Amino acid sequence: MTDGGLSWQQVGARPAPAGFLKVRARTYRYPNGAEADWDIIQGGNTAAVVALTDDDQVVLVRQFRPGPGKVLLELPGGNADGDEPVLDGAVRELLEETGFAAQTAEVVASTYLASYSTHVRHAVLARGCRRVADPQPGQDEFVEVVTLPVPEFVRHVLGGQLTDMDMAPAGLVAAGILKH
């Protein structure tokens, strides 16, 4: 897979937060009386959208991911803004990143990012997706819209080359594509 000119060039690194993630230290007292500090990633609600078209395609975005340091084929999605309901944020992000709108959408699973995080991630299943506009990604989003047939997407998910490995199967199970 080529990166399609989407790669970022790393120009530095430092042992300090950049402000994108908020990390706070919490001090806990254990049952034995000892105390220890834990780093906790602070965050709100985000959504990853498994967006299905009527002709059994999955709508994805190819984009650079700074953690892995490479371009990956990902689920569209992002942060719910402020008090925005998660489902509204998911539908908005799908439209902004891909230009696709969903006929129906539902939250099908939710989970914490990790055991040391307040950040909650939501899997959204969107059906009847169709292209209604040009993508309008944010100023720090550089994406290419891609569609994959469902069987190819399942292989992609099982190949582990996406960061929403937990959200993708939740959407596929809810859609009846993967059996539980």
**Which class in CATH covers the domain with range 39-174?**
alpha beta
Torsion sign, CA atoms 152, 102, 166, 175? negative
In the structure, what pLDDT confidence band is assigned to residue 28 with cuts at 50, 70 and 90? very high
Average pLDDT over residues 23-43: 91
Other beta carbons within 10 Å of 132: 11
* Residue entry with tokens 């009846």: 176
pLDDT category at 1 given cuts 50, 70, 90 is: low
State the Cα–Cα distance between residues 169 and 156, nearest whole angstrom. 11
Taking CA 79 as the corner, what is the angle to CA 110 and CA 81, rounded to the nearest 5 degrees?
A: 115
What percentage of residues in the chain have a pLDDT greater than 70? 96
Q: Does the pLDDT value for residue 57 go beyond 70? A: yes
Residue 32's CB is within 10 A of a number of other CB atoms, namely: 5
Distance (Å, whole) CA 86 – CA 83:
9
For 125-171, how does the pLDDT look when each residue is reduced to its tens digit (9 = 90+)? 999 999 999 999 888 889 999 999 999 999 999 998 999 988 898 99
Residue 104: strand, helix, or coil: strand
Residue 43 has pLDDT above 60, yes or no: yes
The per-residue b/e assignment along 94-127, b for 16 or more CB within 10 angstroms, e otherwise, is bbbbbbbbbeebebbbeeeeeeebebbbbbbbbb
pLDDT at 26: 92
The residue-averaged pLDDT of 36-53 equals 93
